[in-house]
A = this chain, B = another copy of it.
Amino acid sequence: MVTVMAANSQFSMAVHVLTMLASSGEEKMKSDCVAASVNTNPVVIRRLLGQLNQANLVISQTGAAGGTRLAKCPKEINLGDIYKAVECGEVFALHAKSPNQDCPIGKNIEAVLCNLQKEIDKTVGEKLSQYTLQSVIEMVEQGRV
């Protein structure tokens, strides 16, 4: 596995986490247990679950006997929903600094790139939406891809 640190793996973790929750059905899971499978710290999982909660993909409960479960069944969650929920940013970034506005190209290129960025992001979202969480579970269960 190629590990590029500082790269955003939240989407991958989110899919993993939701697959875990799906496997436990109605029963709530604790962040410690999920963290053990993802091989990370429980706080990282709770942060992620916070985002998934805001997107109405999971339901959490504090206190003893607390934990988290899916808010919908796996067939009703698609990977596009998850991608939007964790909001990893865009496929490519716009210029770090605004280009030179005195240059005809510099003046107009940003708007063109911005629209392109939106279109690509939409394309990614649509492609991801073709997969439900249920289909991911089936792929994982069968050990095939």
Query: Whole-angstrom distance from the CB of A52 to the nearest CB of chain B?
Result: 15
In chain B, what residue has the closest Cβ to A127?
B123
This chain's copy number in the assembly: 2
Q: Which of B7, B39, B100, B110 is within 8 Å of A93, CB to CB? A: B7
Is A100 a contact partner of B9 (Cβ separation < 8 A)?
Answer: no
Is A12 a contact partner of B92 (Cβ separation < 8 A)?
Answer: yes
Q: Which of B1, B2, B94, B112 is within 8 Å of A139, CB to CB? A: B112
A105 and B19 alpha carbons, distance in the complex (Å): 8
Is B100 a contact partner of A36 (Cβ separation < 8 A)?
Answer: yes
Evaluate whether A124 and B115 lie within 8 angstroms (CB atoms) in the complex, with A92-B88, A105-B19, A108-B140 already known: no
Partner-B contacts on A (CB < 8 A): 1-13, 15-16, 19-20, 23, 36-40, 79, 83, 88-100, 103-106, 108-116, 119-120, 123-124, 127-128, 131, 136, 139-141, 143, 145
